[in-house]
């Protein structure tokens, strides 16, 4: 069919404009778009989502810490320290000055993490870390409270001196306390074997982190009976 020159020119310009638009779209990166079905959009809540807690551990009540003397730790060495911590917390509760102490104890090879939770026991407010190699003793055997788990930690001061601190947490049950003791023993075993295979400790079992403490969490884990 014959077309006037003006119409052919207009048709050519339209085709050229379309080609240029296609080329332009191919050059520019397309934004990432997530498509939703209309029903899904209507059901989506407009309330901001709070980040859920991803920490894995045991729910405990942190009783605090107290500095103790000595470097040789045998069965019953944490009893007096735990008694003092329990009594101190009871007094603070009577005076209305005691915090909730809601915490989450996370035991893993090389590091133990104590997450201090908010008053609702959900979000982690602060976190204390303890190097497994510096834990000299741990036990879940306490006559005053059978559900208390305690560990003795070598704290390094700014002047490079150290002190032995006894930390204690109250578990939901006696069984939970024993589970913590076994978890600590397993964490120590994995840490010890990893450090020995990496050459950071001698095959005799001594190192800068272990030499000064003759007892280990593995020695202090109570029997299940």
List the CATH number of the domain containing 61: 2.30.29.30
Total count of domains within the chain: 1
* DSSP result, 45-98: --SPPPPPP---SEEEEEEEEEEE--S---TTTTHHHHHHHHHHHHHHHHHT--
Residue 125 within a domain: yes
Q: Tokens at residue 123, please?
A: 């979000």
Backbone angles phi, psi at 129, to 5 degrees: -120, 145
Q: Tokens at residue 29, please?
A: 């990166």
Residue 20 within a domain: no
Residue 224 within a domain: no
Residue 10 within a domain: no
DSSP strands (E only) in 109-147: 111-117, 124-131, 135-139
Residue 3 within a domain: no
Q: Comparing C-alpha atoms, which of 205, 223, 222 is closest to residue 214? A: 205
Q: Comparing C-alpha atoms, which of 182, 61, 11, 187 is closest to residue 112? A: 187
Tens-digit pLDDT profile for the chain (225 aa)?
A: 555 566 665 665 666 555 544 444 444 444 444 434 434 334 444 444 444 445 578 899 999 999 999 888 999 999 999 999 999 989 988 887 777 778 999 999 999 999 998 776 666 788 999 999 999 999 999 999 999 999 999 999 888 899 999 999 999 999 999 999 999 999 999 999 988 887 776 655 444 444 333 344 444 444 444
Residue 213 within a domain: no
Range of the domain at 74: 56-195
Residue corresponding to tokens 């204690």: 168
CA 77 centroid distance within chain: 28
Residue 31 within a domain: no
Give the global pTM.
0.64
Residue 136 within a domain: yes
Q: Could you give the angle at the alpha carbon of 69 between the alpha carbons of 64 and 168, nearest 5°?
A: 20
CB atoms within 10 A of CB 163: 12
């Amino acid at each position: 069919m014959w077309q006037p020159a003006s119409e052919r020119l207009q048709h050519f310009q339209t085709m050229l404009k379309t080609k240029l638009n296609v080329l332009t779209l191919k050059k520019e990166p397309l934004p990432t778009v997530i498509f939703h079905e209309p029903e899904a959009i209507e059901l989506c809540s407009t309330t901001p989502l709070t980040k859920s807690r991803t920490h894995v551990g045991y729910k405990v009540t942190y009783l605090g810490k107290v500095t103790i003397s000595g470097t040789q730790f045998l069965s019953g060495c944490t009893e007096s320290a735990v008694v003092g911590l329990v009594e101190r917390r009871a007094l603070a509760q009577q005076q209305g000055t005691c915090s909730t102490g809601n915490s989450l104890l996370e035991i893993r090879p090389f590091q133990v993490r104590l997450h201090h939770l908010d008053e609702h026991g959900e979000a982690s407010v602060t976190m204390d870390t303890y190097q497994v190699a510096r834990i000299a003793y741990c036990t879940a055997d306490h006559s005053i409270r059978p559900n208390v788990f305690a560990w003795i930690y070598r704290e390094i001061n700014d002047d490079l001196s150290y002190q032995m601190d006894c930390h204690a947490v109250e578990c939901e049950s006696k069984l939970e306390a024993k589970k913590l003791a076994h978890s600590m023993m397993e964490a120590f075993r994995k840490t010890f074997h990893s450090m020995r295979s990496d050459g950071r400790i001698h095959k005799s079992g001594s190192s800068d982190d272990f030499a000064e403490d003759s007892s280990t969490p593995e020695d202090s884990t109570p029997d299940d009976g």
